[in-house]
Amino acid sequence: MKLLLIHADYMEYEVKEKTKFAEDYQGTGDRVEEVLVAFVSVEKGDNEDVAKKAVEEIKDVAEKVGSKRILIYPYAHLSPNLADPETAIKILKILESEIKDFEVKRAPFGWYKSFRISCKGHPLSELSREIKAEEEVTKALKDEKEIVSFWFILKPDGELVKVKEFNFEGYENLRKFAKYEMEKRRAVDTIPAHVEFMKRLELADYEGASDSGHIRYYPKGRLIKSLLERFVTQKCIEYGAMEVETPIMYDRNHPTLRRYLERFPARQYILSGDKREFFMRFAACFGQFLMLADSTISYRNLPLRIYELTRYSFRKEQRGELVGLRRLRAFTMPDMHTIVKDMEQAMEEFLKQYKLSVEVLKEIGIEPEDYEVAIRVTKDFYEQNKDFLKKIAGFLGKPILLEMWDSRFFYFVLKFEFNFVDSLDKASALSTVQIDVENAERYGIKYVDVDGEKKTPLILHCSVSGAIERVMYALLEKAKFMMDRGKLPMLPVWLSPTQVRIIPVSERFLDKAKEVAEKIEARVDVDDRDETLNKKIRDASMEWIPYIAVIGEKEVQEGKLSVTIRSESDLKEQKRVMMSIEELNERLRRDCEGKPFMPLTLPKLLSLRPSFR
RNA sequence: GCCGCCGUGGCUCAGCUGGCAGAGCGGGUGACUUGUAAUCACCAGGUCGCGGGUUCAAAUCCCGCCGGCGGCUCCA
């Protein structure tokens, strides 16, 4: 809302002609003496809160200038972004009725009027104010503050123990995670390890020219991200999901979507289109649910799974929350939704997707001991399905943090997450699956059952690995743990940008090095720079390259390569092995079995490469 | 969003009781032709995050903004 306040000797206006938005009005105008005139533009997004704040502002000014009379004068020309007429009239009426202790008059809305005003000209006689709505906070975000949680540990044998009574000995990470979830934390003053690594390895960096939480990826980072994206997508498709693609923004006032937004505890980016306002998706739910609502689905098709890799999902997280790759405002997430016909089928799928998530993370290089499991459940669901939860707890054979709610605040009754605990003891969710009991109804998703009746299914939300950026974060943080244990940090071989580096002992062996590079079946590069051997070895090590192959007189004669194997080396002692090209290829095949492969997009010769930072 | 700390060549940082903007790495040029974690020399490179203010004089002091890190809170 825009306000222009003028303290006047008098204000006189004449009502001329109707516009098409005119409210009912009889009369020809008015003249008010000794008055504070409030010219008002009601803007898009203004609501009752704005009106109330405006009331306070106007009263405040009226008191300061010592005016007993106030004239509310609708004046569209203060703003290029006007509210619709109904809202505007509503808000103006609030102003009129809520300004107490003054003599309040109001000029009619939607009429052409002429006016004459005599401004007093003292220092406070002309003021303008802008009043903005508080950023819209969804109901779910508010509710979240009210939730009462009960915390337990679910033991592998299905026994439920209160957190306070659980003996955490031997479960240090679970202790940290439980603490992280339940308590306040103390200050640490270090840059997270992965932020250091993502920059130093030229994987990714902040992009200051974008919003916070939007990242740039250099060639090596993009390669790693692509490989993870492909792998995760491949796993979901193998699991039986159909890949689709849906828009990244939606009408903010679409009734169905709006109600769902209200149920999700996240803040949205808002964008204005020509006529409508849009929000950026925070997940693929919107597009996929709308698609499913328009589909004809038979019980024979169930469980039915659709999948999308969201590049991107947007969440306008609070600024203080954003860190490196751990939490972003734009992120890439595998998002699979499964339609099932009843709770029994839902639980069956839930367990399968739980197992799938374990497998996917394991193949990526994140083992069950690297994360902690959390289960969030309503009391009712828990009481009715104890055996099922016991089965879940048994699968990994480790205790699980269980959060129980008296009533259902969200759209789901059951959810699990795998939480990675990083080098600063921070926990972040990776894989998650939820059983959604609300949205099929809300979106009008139906299936036709055996009896020919249309029925409402249940929906599972599954992010099989969690956000791809967060997977990268976890891998880098894991590398930090390797360092702390005295090992050399590295990425899994299939994700290492350069898998093999060939280093000629001197320029004489450069051609030979290039020749060898052609025969290696991996992402290979050749250090052809005019540097000492020591320098080249050091640089390759700093890049975490899994295999460094040196070639010189000896190697040429023996027809072998002298290969330094990073995973078996440490800072004190390097593991060096004489290997034939075929032996090296065989080893690489084993390292990367079942994983996608993409060539390195950087020039093969190091001398041709720019430095991105 | 709120609170605290931080912001100097491409990178890492020194300079900060106000007084000529520095180093190492990286880059360019030349020498060297190297056997497993940094070869040597020379050269180029800076609106000291941005905008105001105080002062004869500001990287240095003050205010505002932007960005980063940590905390509150929450998630993928």
Domain boundaries, chain A: 2-130, 146-188+225-247+284-476, 493-608
By percentage, how much of chain A surpasses pLDDT 90?
61
β-pairing verdict for A547-551 and A500-504? parallel
Judged against a pLDDT cut of 80, whether residue A262 lies above it is answered with: no
Distance from the Cα of residue A460 to its chain's centroid: 19
CATH topology for the A2-130 domain: D-tyrosyl-trna(Tyr) Deacylase; Chain: A; (3.50.80)
Rounded distance, CA A140 to CA A122, Å?
49
ipTM score here?
0.89
Judged against a pLDDT cut of 70, whether residue A361 lies above it is answered with: yes
Confidence of residue A86 (pLDDT cuts 50, 70, 90): confident
Of the listed ranges A84-98, A133-147, A442-456, A597-611, the least confidently predicted one is: A133-147
Nucleotide with C1' nearest the A333 CA: B76
Q: What is the pLDDT of residues A444-494, one digit of tens each?
A: 999 999 999 999 999 999 999 999 999 999 999 999 999 888 899 999 999
| Arithmetic mean of pLDDT, A196-216 | 89
Judged against a pLDDT cut of 70, whether residue A25 lies above it is answered with: yes
Q: How far is CA A88 from CA A13, A143, A514, in A?
A: 20, 30, 73
Can you state the angle between helices A468-484 and A193-200, rounded to 10 degrees? 100
Verify if strand B has an atom below 7 Å from the CB of A552. Answer: yes
Is this structure's pTM higher than 0.90?
no
Per the structure, the residues numbered 400 to 429 in protein chain A that have their CB within 7 angstroms of any atom of strand B are: 417, 419, 424, 426-429
Per the structure, the residues numbered 434 to 463 in protein chain A that have their CB within 7 angstroms of any atom of strand B are: 463
Residue that wins the pLDDT comparison between A44 and A573: A573
Q: Are A338 and A239 within 8 A, CB to CB? A: no
Q: Are A244 and A487 within 8 A, CB to CB? A: no
| Arithmetic mean of pLDDT, A226-250 | 97
Q: What is the pLDDT of residues A519-572, one digit of tens each?
A: 999 999 999 999 999 999 999 999 999 999 999 999 999 999 999 999 999 988
pLDDT score at A103: 92
Q: What is the pLDDT of residues A412-429, one digit of tens each?
A: 999 999 999 888 888 899
Task: Please count the helices (runs of H) and the strands (runs of E) in chain A.
Answer: 17, 28
Nucleotide with C1' nearest the A510 CA: B33
What are the helix (H) ranges across A102-254? 139-146, 172-182, 193-200, 219-239
Confidence of residue A185 (pLDDT cuts 50, 70, 90): very low
| Arithmetic mean of pLDDT, A112-122 | 85
Of the listed ranges A103-112, A171-180, A230-239, the least confidently predicted one is: A171-180
Judged against a pLDDT cut of 90, whether residue A71 lies above it is answered with: yes
Nucleotide with C1' nearest the A214 CA: B67
Nucleotides of B under 7 A from a protein CB: 1-4, 10-12, 26-27, 31-39, 66-76
Task: Give CATH for domain A493-608.
Answer: 3.40.50.800
Instruction: Specify which residue's alpha carbon is closest to the C1' of nucleotide B3.
Output: A320
Judged against a pLDDT cut of 60, whether residue A172 lies above it is answered with: yes
pLDDT score at A57: 82
pLDDT score at A143: 65
Judged against a pLDDT cut of 90, whether residue A590 lies above it is answered with: yes
Q: Identify the CA nearest to A239 among candidates A288, A285, A305.
A: A305
| Token couple for A534 | 């020591």
Rounded distance, CA A546 to CA A501, Å?
9
Residue that wins the pLDDT comparison between A405 and A86: A405
Show the 3-state SS of A231-294. Answer: HHHHHHHHHCCEECCCCCEEECCCHHHHHHHHHCCCCCCEEECCCCEEEECCCCHHHHHHHHHC
Residue that wins the pLDDT comparison between A29 and A298: A298
Judged against a pLDDT cut of 60, whether residue A186 lies above it is answered with: no
Per the structure, the residues numbered 73 to 102 in protein chain A that have their CB within 7 angstroms of any atom of strand B are: none
Verify if strand B has an atom below 7 Å from the CB of A310. Answer: no
Q: Which residues, in sequence order, are CB contacts of A587 under 8 Å at separation 6+?
A: A547, A579
From the CA of A603, how many Å to the C1' of B25?
23
Provide DSSP, A469-512. HHHHHHHHHHHHHHHHTTSPP---GGG-S-SEEEEESSGGGHHH
> Can you identify the CATH homologous superfamily of domain A146-188+225-247+284-476?
Bira Bifunctional Protein; Domain 2 (3.30.930.10)
SS3 call for A462: strand
Rounded distance, CA A480 to CA A420, Å?
13
Torsion-angle region of A377 (φ positive above 0: left; ψ -120 to 50: alpha; else: beta): beta
End-to-end CA, chain A: 45
Q: Are A528 and A607 within 8 A, CB to CB? A: yes
Which of A566-569's residues contact partners 24+ apart within 8 Å by CB, and which partners? A566/A488, A566/A490, A566/A541, A567/A488, A567/A490, A569/A488
Verify if strand B has an atom below 7 Å from the CB of A353. Answer: no
From the CA of A77, how many Å to the C1' of B40?
73
| Arithmetic mean of pLDDT, A495-518 | 95
Q: Are A15 and A28 within 8 A, CB to CB? A: yes
From the CA of A560, how many Å to the C1' of B45?
44
Verify if strand B has an atom below 7 Å from the CB of A206. Answer: yes
Rounded distance, CA A38 to CA A78, Å?
12
Residue that wins the pLDDT comparison between A491 and A149: A491
State the DSSP code for A327: B
